[in-house]
Amino acid sequence: MQIVEPGSESNNRHVGLLILGAGWTSTFLIPLLTREGIKYAATTTDGRDGTIHFRFDPESRDSAPFKTLPSADTVLITFPLRGQGQSKHLVRMYESTHQISEQYKPNFVQLGATSIWTEPTWHDENSPYDRTNVRAIAEDELIEFSQGAVLNLAGLYGASRQPRDWVDRVIKSKAELKAKGALHVIHGEDVARAIVALHRNFTPGKRWLLSDMHVYDWWDLAQDWAIQTLQGVKSGDLKVPVDKFQRQEELLVWVSELMVEEGVRALPRDTSSVGRALDGRGFWQKMGILPTQGRIR
Ligand SMILES: NC(=O)c1ccc[n+]([C@@H]2O[C@H](COP(=O)([O-])OP(=O)(O)OC[C@H]3O[C@@H](n4cnc5c(N)ncnc54)[C@H](OP(=O)(O)O)[C@@H]3O)[C@@H](O)[C@H]2O)c1
């Protein structure tokens, strides 16, 4: 990892990408930047692991934290900005503490979520979204004020985050399973590739929808994973507590009952019947690349 010590001379060095908030996404992004030879600097709120100590406080006019940040071609904001004023404030503070000129003006990229698209229909990057959503308000401000770009991400997975581990949290009853339509995800490696692509081929003032271009059916996934777990236990490859074993059997019963009750002939359900569906083709087409990870298991 390229280390930029807080307050050191190296902070004044120009980097290609400045990551404001090196959290989970950066565990994929930083190795890619290293492989691609892109100079970067990264921040965390506590300055751990040689990152720059930086916490954005929307109420503070203190320019000192911004002065510790290097100038960059692209400034990636990974943490949520909310409501009106925060995006403008961050951009103003950064620009006022760096020498902005005709030749040098950074491109800002904000990571957002696809939950701003709420209607039970198809959505792509140009579809109407919930403009009252506090994150969407801040993203719109970044787009308008600094011609920034926004990557609205589907559910993040990879390494420690595996969709099959989400089942227990999101499906606690048959009613909850019934309500579950589509799942949309994007692997951390593809998020990293998308950020690098946008860094190299910046699209000013553009909102993108980032997914792995699949529409997964929660009923199909729940059934598949339950069967895999039960088979693993029966073959002796897997050990799970009794209640977890019983839960898999329960999930299988719920899925089969719901299929009869709801007139679903086969799984996965038709995309038109799973509600909200995301069309993520636009970004990949624009960048001339494709996601490398699909078919979650
Ligand atoms: N989880 C999902 O499935 C999902 C889906 C779609 C979109 N998203 C969005 O995608 C983005 C990236 O997700 P992620 O999982 O990589 O996030 P993450 O792991 O929570 O990382 C966020 C980073 O921002 C830093 N940070 C937080 N508040 C800050 C502040 N006020 N000032 C400066 N830095 C701050 C954190 O610092 P520390 O490391 O010191 O805490 C951390 O490094 C987030 O905006 C998230 O909401 C997530």
pLDDT at 217: 97
Tell which atom from ligand 1 comes closest to the C-alpha of 156. 3
3-state secondary structure of 264: coil
Mark residue 95 as left, alpha or beta (left: phi above 0; alpha: psi -120 to 50; beta: remaining). Answer: alpha
CATH code: domain 9-161+184-214+274-287 is 3.40.50.720
3-state secondary structure of 289: coil
- Residues shown for the chain: 297
> Strands 107-113 and 149-153, how do they pair?
parallel
Band (275; pLDDT cuts 50, 70, 90): very high
**pLDDT value at 193 more than 80:** yes
**Is any atom of ligand 1 closer than 6 Å to the C-beta of 78?**
yes
Torsions phi, psi of 185, nearest 5? -135, 170
Average pLDDT over residues 98-117: 96
Average pLDDT over residues 230-240: 94
pLDDT in tens, 253-269: 999 999 999 999 999 99
Residue 158 Cα to ligand 1 midpoint, Å, equals: 15
Name the percent of the chain lying above pLDDT 70.
Answer: 96
- Degrees to nearest 5, angle at CA 177 with 175 and 182: 135
pLDDT at 1: 44
Whether the CB-CB separation of 116 and 135 falls below 8 Å is answered with yes
Helices and strands: H and E segment counts in the chain? 10, 13
Distances (CA, A) of 10 to 64, 73, 96, 233, 234: 16, 16, 19, 54, 57
pLDDT at 12: 59
**Is any atom of ligand 1 closer than 6 Å to the C-beta of 229?**
no
3-state secondary structure of 222: helix
Q: For residues 196 and 9, what is the distance between their CA atoms, to the nearest angstrom?
A: 26
Q: What predicted TM-score, i.e. pTM, was given to this entire model?
A: 0.95
**Is any atom of ligand 1 closer than 6 Å to the C-beta of 80?**
yes
Helix segments in the chain, DSSP class H: 26-36, 64-67, 86-96, 134-146, 167-170, 174-179, 188-200, 218-234, 242-261, 281-287
**Is any atom of ligand 1 closer than 6 Å to the C-beta of 44?**
yes
Show the tokens assigned to 25.
Answer: 């996404």
**Is any atom of ligand 1 closer than 6 Å to the C-beta of 79?**
yes
Among candidate residues 163, 176, 183, 209, the one with its CA nearest the CA of residue 274: 183
Which residue has tokens 């109420």? 59
Q: For residues 174 and 131, what is the distance between their CA atoms, to the nearest angstrom?
A: 32
pLDDT in tens, 22-51: 999 999 999 999 999 999 999 999 999 999
Average pLDDT over residues 176-204: 98
Q: For residues 172 and 247, what is the distance between their CA atoms, to the nearest angstrom?
A: 10
Nearest CA to ligand 1 atom 18: 23
Q: Give 273's contacts (C-beta < 8 A, 6+ positions apart).
A: 264
Tell which atom from ligand 1 comes closest to the C-alpha of 54. 33
pLDDT in tens, 124-173: 999 999 999 999 999 999 999 999 999 999 999 999 999 999 999 999 99
Q: What are the start and end residues of each CATH 3.40.50.720 domain in the chain?
A: 9-161+184-214+274-287
Residue 20 Cα to ligand 1 midpoint, Å, equals: 9
Buried b / exposed e over 105-141, threshold 16 CB at 10 Å, is: ebbbbbbbbbbbbeeeeebebeeebeeebebbbbbbb
